[in-house]
Structure 1
């Protein structure tokens, strides 16, 4: 019987290896932008969705990153993959900061 390490190495022998790179800033999402904040009194993450005219469109709140980004995806409030990936990353950072009692600043 092969051990897991041998199997993993064999899986990568005949596939291309793509080197990841930083592409810089992506295109803006036509559907607007989000400002992520914490409500530590209620232990909630807030995702404030704005138009580019700085009009607040909606606030999505939830106890964890997953519930918020799944809601954003369900209603198609992020129209690009770059924006959805960025939101997932920022919401996760906000969740971790909230759980360990650190401040969070969107980056």
Structure 2
């Protein structure tokens, strides 16, 4: 049997690994509890030679932490993780996601967001 403590330790360890940024852009995921929706804003970026995400409008690195005022290219929403994945990956072509590991990450995050929405708990994107 897998214990929750073990799952959390594995997740925490793996969350600290290096991840190559997707040249197709990134998503900010959040819940709209009143509407019962999982939402995802897509933003474009340019990846620098050093692997940093650069704001195409300003030419400056996009900070990892803190508030950033940018206009999303698209906003997606769905009642479930599956519905949101279909909107982003099947109905939206060409795909905004260009790396398989990014797609897998989004799927995991959408499931986490769905669980939070169902259980009425806070969701914080990993």
Q: Same fold (TM over 0.5)?
A: yes
Distance 1:92 1:25 in 2: 22
Q: Deviations over 1:72-102 (max 9, x none)?
A: 2122121110000000000100000000010
Q: Which residue of 2 aligns with 1:79?
A: 98
Quote the RMSD (CA, aligned, Å): 1.5
* 1:27-38 aligned within 5 A: 27-38=20-31
Aligned with 1:49: secondary structure?
strand
Task: Name which structure has the greater RCO, CA cutoff 8 Å, separation 6+.
Answer: 2
Is structure 2 residue 65 aligned with structure 1 residue 49? no
In structure 2, runs of 5+ residues without a counterpart are 1-13, 46-54, 56-69
Is structure 2 residue 53 aligned with structure 1 residue 60? no
Distance 2:73 2:28 in 1: 11
Aligned residues: 86
Match of 2:107 among 76, 88, 96: 88
Q: Deviations over 1:16-65 (max 9, x none)?
A: xxxxxx59222111110000000000000001101122441000011011
Larger radius of gyration: 1
